[in-house]
Chains A and B, each alone.
Chain A
Amino acid sequence: MGDPTAQLARLPRATPEEIQQLRAAYGLDKPLLGQFADYVGDTVRLDLGISQRTRRPVWDEIGDALPWTLLLVGTGTLLATVVGTWLGIVAATRRGSRTDDSLLGFSLFTYSAPEYWIGLILILLFAVAIPVFPAGLQMTPGEQFESFWAQAVDVAQHLVLPSIALMLVLLGQYFVIMRSSMVDVLTEDFITVKRATGLPWAKVVRRHAVRNALLPLVTLSAIYFGFVMGGVITIETIFSWPGLGLLEFDAITSKDFPMLQGAFLVFSVSVIVLNLIADCLYFVLDPRVQSA
């Protein structure tokens, strides 16, 4: 087992007394159940402890990293929703065609691929072979920006590759859900009726089918959020994007347990909160749920 003090006391001349002191300082001399009680107590009081790697409070580290993760996850999810929905509509309205088949094949491929590998391919293609985008970090290091806008443009350029990588990870699922949901809606009677009234097909799709088909996407995207959180760890790692994922990765490599636990807590809580929001949204969006 990895006793954290083995890590702390890697000082060659640490005496047994000093190691004992360290163990006491971290509460590791208590029985396991006592340690667990301490952990639960601290967590309830929102005390996540001090990072062993940086010696800063875990909350401060998380606070610094969270905005970057939100920016990345937000952009990636937004792109995936828009592109996935659009492709799903295209495929569903041309069901059985070659377009449909190749879109399905592509989305299953990205679904099967490890997300960090997709990121590495993007780096190889668009940062090394054709160097159009930076391969890592969130902005050019050491650069003095003249204005807020100059900085925003720089950040946006750095955001392109990681957010596309995240989008490709999610795209497959969003596409498949949207496609099957659209197929269901398009075979319903009210669509046939709308067509019979002479409404143009494009309008039937846009006004009547898409709106109804979007419903399952809301709940399912919340369920898949846990999956996004997994993707964030590896994608932020390969792009050196200074968010929660990179924090988690640094904590893994340096055996920084307070940081690992803290990041894990934030990941889990955000997934639970998102599921809650999705349930509420579903209630608002679907009148049938309200009457039930």
Chain B
Amino acid sequence: MNRVLSSKRGRFALAVVTLFVFVAVFGALLAPQDPEASSTEVLEGPSGSHLLGTTEVGADVFSQLLVGARVSIVVGFSAAVISAVLGAAVGLTGGYFGGITDKLIDAFENWFLVIPQLPLMVVLARLLNPSLGVLIFVIGITSWAGTGRIVRSQVLTLKERAFVERARALGASDWHIIRRHILPNALPLIFANTVLIVAVAILAEASLSFLGLGDPTSISWGRMLEDGFSAGAPSAGAWWYMVPPGLCITVLVFAIGLLGYVFEQQLNPRLQEAVE
């Protein structure tokens, strides 16, 4: 963490992400108005009473923006955790045991790597009924393959190291070796990769919500874009409604991506040279 703070990019990214997490936690309290309250002031531009104008039903855009942060953050982080656990389990198993297990896992992984993610998520989400849990599940279960691949290659080099061989010579079980020697060493890499998956998951949540496959009971940035788009806000020129949600998604994804990139740099000194 100290090393992340030592770089200018790292500090910037961390500050932005912290701000968004703060809004996700306290957004509902900070919102100046009820985000669901409709009024007769429909699609009006920014004013003193509505900082970012109003929606197609006259709700306050700024309040919706603050409340919407929660879904992005919750879905992004939860889906990334599912994806990290799946990816790590698969990568550890395949890499450590090798042989036919590895081959089977590899074939399965290839399948998930090649199938386009959004169309797959769309089909899955449509089959199940949209809710927050379904979103998290669908995104998590379609995004682990990359992590699995990276963990596997790390495990392949780790298991040949002297300390693993020593543990094996002392009669340690496979489970013990994986848990005590391999996993701790692969953890930093899994972590850096998971940070990047958070960014992907936030984009995926927004896309699914935009396509009408989000949780219908909660406000999210993707749903704001969907509501506004289907109500014709773009052709009405309602930039105050259409620009902020997308900008929030972009800035958050950008900051998280930057954070993951900084973590990766710290872990891999070779990358540092290549970029600088």
Contacts and interface: CB of A to CB of B under 8 A. Distances in A.
B254 A112 contact: yes
Given A117-B250, A238-B229, A229 B128 contact: no
A230 B246 contact: no
B29 interface: no
A267 interface: yes
Interface centre among B126, B222, B243 (most CB of A within 10 A): B126
A135 B229 CA distance: 12
Given A112-B199, A121-B243, A230 B119 contact: yes
A113 B234 contact: no
A226 B114 contact: yes
Given A227-B116, A252-B213, A275-B114, A123 B234 contact: yes
A140 to B, nearest CB: 16
Main secondary structure of the interface of A (DSSP, over half): helix
B126 A112 contact: no
B235 A253 contact: no
A114 B203 contact: yes
A233 B122 contact: yes
A277 interface: no
B207 A116 contact: yes
A109 interface: yes
Contacts of A150: none
A14 interface: no
Contacts of A248: 119, 122
Interface string A257-275: 1001101100110011001
A249 interface: yes
Given A114-B210, A234-B211, A129 B237 contact: yes
Interface residues of B, number: 41
B225 interface: yes
A271 B114 contact: yes
B116 A271 contact: yes
B203 A135 contact: no
A2 interface: yes
B119 A264 contact: yes
Contacts of A263: 119
Contacts of B237: 124, 128-129
A226 B117 contact: yes
B257 A108 contact: yes
A190 B87 CA distance: 41
Nearest to A231: B118
B199 A260 contact: no
Contact of B126 (A2, A113, A129, A230): A2
A109 to B, nearest CB: 6
B253 interface: yes
A127 interface: yes
A85 interface: no
Contacts of B199: 112
B126 A252 contact: yes
A248 B118 CA distance: 11
Contact of A2 (B114, B115, B116, B128): B128
A268 B126 CA distance: 17
A249 B128 CA distance: 16
A132 to B, nearest CB: 15
B76 to A, nearest CB: 13
B242 interface: yes
Nearest to A274: B114
A120 B119 contact: no
A188 B222 CA distance: 46
Given A116-B210, A123-B235, 13 more contacts: A112-B249, A112-B251, A112-B257, A113-B253, A114-B250, A124-B234, A124-B237, A127-B234, A128-B236, A226-B114, A226-B117, A230-B117, A248-B122
Interface of B: 114-120, 122-123, 126-129, 199, 203, 206-207, 210-213, 222, 225, 229, 234-237, 239, 242-243, 245-246, 249-251, 253-254, 257-258, 274
22 contacts: A108-B254, A108-B258, A112-B203, A112-B251, A116-B210, A124-B239, A227-B117, A229-B119, A230-B118, A233-B118, A233-B119, A234-B207, A234-B211, A237-B211, A248-B119, A252-B126, A252-B213, A257-B126, A267-B119, A268-B114, A268-B115, A272-B114
